Structure 1
Amino acid sequence: MKIISTTWYILKLIAFCILGVFFFVLAAFIRLFDLWKAIRIFKSYLHLYFRFFGLKIHFEFEDSSIKTNGNMVFVLLNQSSFLDSLIVPTLPVHKLRGIINIEFALYPVLGWFLALANFVIIRQWSTQAKNTLNRANTFLQKGGNMVISIEGKRSRDGKLNVYKKGPVVMAIKSQSDIVPFIIEGTYQSLPYKSVYTKPAEIKVRVLRTIPTIGLTYEQRDELVDRLRFTAQANSLEW
């Protein structure tokens, strides 16, 4: 039975990758005329992955108005699985782009789609910070939303990594509301270094906004501490 289930899993994975090429070519063509329609094709492809591998994604918003608002920085408080990078682009919010680590951008098909969707790909915050912040600020000021992980890398054991200041600095620069959110269940489905996605119920909890209007760069540490406290209050462990 194990051989059969493993073979079936591999066949589904191969089929998903082949379909990915088709979806990407279609999205790339549509991208010439309408970016957001191309992104919807990308989201459809991701939802196909969820169906293929038995993942049920549930979004819970503490404030439903967040879905339609703009000029917000969505900050993922826990990056515990590769699955997070598949779920984040499907957040049901207005005009979402993101900032991702080069690690994810190198994945075939997924990386292509993220580049096509105008996600900002960075190698190192320290060397690319100014350019990244300027691009994000322009997009936010036009009413768009950005999404980024505050850890900057996946957890190896399900516990939190050290929080970075980049997302907070971005929000302060553009005077955008910070929207912290948590993804539950992905580590149990696909932990670090695993290649087998287990069927699971995944919950994405989008918390209430944290305003940054009037805050300055000097207050960045206070905001990081507040996000850390929010993570602890929601049972995330260091």
Structure 2
Amino acid sequence: MADQQSPQSNPPRIAPRSGPFSSRLMWPAGAFLLGTLLVYNSIGTPADPKPLQSHRVAIATAAPGASRTVPALSRSVPKRLRIPEIAVDAPFTALSIGPSGQLNAPPGNNNNLVGWFQGGATPGERGASIVAGHVDTKTGPAVFMQLSSLKKGSKIDIARADGVVATFKVDAVETFSKAQFPNDQVYADTPDAQLRVITCGGAYNRAAKDYEANVVVFAHLDSTTRK
């Protein structure tokens, strides 16, 4: 799935995947608390069974390379995600935190479905809104198979329940080792409307039944239109 873990300076890689996917992500407990990210495989045991280590972080001033001109929107749930550049057109499902502190992933039986963390900012609202999706499932490539091919300046459209389409512009696409995932950089609160889109990346470790990295797209609200 879209597991989440850390940015590196090397360019992201596009690699088709057909193996098992991770189904849950560790999520911070509270608006300013970030935990050590643990990624679980849907058919195995925890890939990194470290205890949750929460800590307070400062509010981030901006995503990498971003400039701010568009006011944040009021809260409204997302309905559909479109990224024409990589042929993504998918509905949303709400994601929540499980009893053990992991963010549940979108169902693995639908290859064209994305999730958003309903306990955080909605896309376009002030803060860093989190969107996650599978790179593949047991049946083949999934919605974010080509996510790592996005570049700075790429556009992401999110249709919201209030009739507004929030268009985000990509600031950076990073691939992070799960062992060194930068929670502060990805999950810190922000003073404006930002977006994080996350999926699996890197090599697939068959022994661990998990991907070794995560692809994270950093984007900011660039414009809004009404349907």
TM-score for the superposition, normalised by structure 2: 0.31
State the TM-score, normalizing by the size of structure 1: 0.30
Q: Which has the larger radius of gyration?
A: 1
Which of 1 and 2 has higher RCO (CA within 8 Å, sep 6+)?
A: 2
Q: Which has the higher helix share?
A: 1
